Structure 1
């Protein structure tokens, strides 16, 4: 289990452009500008949940970079370690609504964040953190970024200065064909805490994989969390295995839900180390992202969260069937 203390999330955050949900990218006369990044999503939700957290990255010394830093900082995340690169631009992402889903177009080749390397790990905030959070997105950006992630995960579990969590977060568009499966499996198996969706595990390592099969493929993390979409999540730990069903949720857009789940789980783990309650908080936090078009939505108030976490297993089963209570008005903010 990670020690109680600050968390550092490392990874790229981009400016994001998207048309209104009912409009096509091709025909829209205007696009909404926000920010998007897996690791900063985790950081912002951790801040929402009261966890001291900083975000380490690089952006261009440009207007979009300033907007990214301001947006993440406004959520209560320490952004003092983010570097402004005078020679490389801030990455850009464009969302294209397409039928039942959303296509994502990345413009992040040669971005400021893609030039990050292991030197990030020498930052004082990283060295003093209780937990460092990384994802497979960073490993896909460039050789130097992959070196950064690999270096962070090189010491075996139990011999690091801090715990390291890793979300597989497979983004096929960022990888050369045939390269992601082996790299992501190797990195995921090195972490102290690993998150992976059953669907992405099946895409990467075998269409017939079960949750138990994923544990056999990734035997080394002391804590492995396998998310099974809207059905639930299973945590494999050294002292047991727990499965907690996900509450029924009307999905507006799934983007950002995995990041929200990781943040909720990590916040719960840092609170008291109780894994079933951490899984519940992961589901609660993911539900807030599922209900909005942005990557980040409003959480239930603190008293509601405490009540949900205190439920008996039977009461939670009923809640899972009925759905979470409303969280308040949808947030039309940054992601």
Structure 2
């Protein structure tokens, strides 16, 4: 896939994660890392052999430097704008119980929220094969929303495929406020990813199947319904394709959706069949659940092959 590139933009934050189960009121040991939906996808793509580029604003601080270092270490083309007037955002992750995870965001006034259209370099979008964006960037601030829309418009004008993951965050906006903004972006995209609840934000009261049909009327070619352990379903002009999920011993589900998207886009770039594309995407999402962290467990191609050739148990529902 020489020369194939996926570009993405959004906020990547420092991540402080509890190393033990329990409330942040009581846990003693914490680990420091980074995380962000768009950069998680870029990491997943890079590990699968796809040339990926991430753009975002970070604070001119040690946490921002860590973001740059970690992403560059993953082979990603990093387009970071250091902001001397705002800090790198922060998120805290706790595990209240062995089976639950809670994430707390501290991003108000962060460098990442100050992303603007002026930060997008000439040719960066136009030279890519795919532009991947998320609803997080659309809702984090007015300037970030404008930057996302500008990137999408430039991609459409240049014939670049636009991938959009709804990735709704209730902490950023209510469903009522978010719905029209996210639907507008989805209508401009070529492929839309979302869970059933997220698609219902775009089209209140409509089933995923009906939402997909309405998106096709808007010009979106493909809608991918993410269903977690149950797998995923693709709705496109050829009909409906269902892919079973995989049973795994879950450690951390955060970032699994981003790994799924990376697997899907990488398979799409390889022109795999719809069935093979879903199998890879579901496997990537499953493997990402096997270790803590937002992106650390995203598989390489060799790890993915080993998982698929092993005892992975497809969930038949």
TM norm structure 2? 0.89
Shift of 1:177: 6.2
1:1-335 maps to which residues of 2 (within 5 A)? 5-79=4-78, 81-99=79-97, 100-154=99-153, 159-176=157-174, 178-202=176-200, 205-206=203-204, 209-219=206-216, 220-296=219-295, 297-299=297-299, 302=302, 305=305, 308=308, 319-321=313-315
Superposition CA RMSD, Å: 2.7
The 3-state SS of whatever aligns with 2:101 is strand
Shift of 1:98: 2.7
The 3-state SS of whatever aligns with 2:229 is coil
Distance 1:166 1:103, change over 3 A: same
Distance 1:125 1:151, change over 3 A: closer
Find the aligned partners of 1:295 and 1:161 in 2 and give their Cα distance: 31
Shift of 1:120: 3.5
Find the aligned partners of 2:274 and 2:130 in 1 and give their Cα distance: 16
Deviations 1:208-246 (A, max 9, x none): 643312213422311211112221211122233311111
Contact 1:156 1:190 in 2 (8 A): no
Contact 1:16 1:33 in 2 (8 A): yes
Structure 1, unmatched stretches of 5+, are 310-315, 323-335
Find the aligned partners of 1:275 and 1:41 in 2 and give their Cα distance: 23
Find the aligned partners of 2:172 and 2:96 in 1 and give their Cα distance: 19
Find the aligned partners of 2:27 and 2:222 in 1 and give their Cα distance: 45
What number of residue pairs does the alignment pair up? 311
Distance 1:96 1:22, change over 3 A: closer
Further displaced range: 171-180 or 275-284: 171-180
TM norm structure 1? 0.84
The 3-state SS of whatever aligns with 2:286 is helix
Deviations 1:293-321 (A, max 9, x none): 21120526538629949xxxxxx9x9414
Contact 1:90 1:113 in 2 (8 A): yes
The 3-state SS of whatever aligns with 2:248 is coil
Contact 2:22 2:96 in 1 (8 A): no
Deviations 1:24-83 (A, max 9, x none): 21112232111010000000010000001111111011000001111111111111x211
Deviations 1:96-146 (A, max 9, x none): 323342222111111112111222443433231111111000011110111
The 3-state SS of whatever aligns with 1:41 is helix
Distance 1:70 1:120, change over 3 A: same
Distance 1:236 1:151, change over 3 A: same
Find the aligned partners of 2:20 and 2:186 in 1 and give their Cα distance: 34
Larger strand percent: 2
Find the aligned partners of 1:176 and 1:304 in 2 and give their Cα distance: 37
Distance 1:195 1:14, change over 3 A: same
Shift of 1:4: 7.0
Distance 1:83 1:52, change over 3 A: same
